[in-house]
Amino acid sequence: MKWYNLSSAEIVKKTATQIQGLTKQEREARLMTNGPNKIEEKKQLKTWQKIAKHFTDLLMVVLIVAALLKFATGEFVEGSIIFLVVIVN
């Protein structure tokens, strides 16, 4: 719902409140039924998880495989350059 498009009277009607605000009893009742007005915090990833996530990206996997194939064929310069691109990225 786009609350910013509504007038004050429409908002008061839709939220079932008054211009003066909620009474203490109404506030406590809504707190019990709806819970607190709080945004849930997401769990932060650890540093090693961020790094591992980077290397499990499809493009990074393809580049690592390409570098390993370059090393297997004896082209160490090209393999090193590809690995350098993966690390810098």
pLDDT tens-digit series, residues 28-58:
999 999 889 888 888 888 999 888 888 888 9
| 30 Cβ contact list (under 8 Å, min separation 6) | 22
Domain ranges in the chain are: 3-34, 47-88
Residue 78: the pLDDT is 93
pLDDT tens-digit series, residues 64-77:
999 999 999 999 99
pTM given for the model: 0.48
Residue 29: the pLDDT is 92
Angle at 67 between CA 89 and CA 74, to 5 degrees: 145
CA separation for the pair 10, 7 (Å, rounded): 5
| 55 Cβ contact list (under 8 Å, min separation 6) | 61, 64, 86
What secondary structure letter does DSSP report for 5?
G
Residue 32: the pLDDT is 93
pLDDT tens-digit series, residues 10-24:
988 888 888 888 889
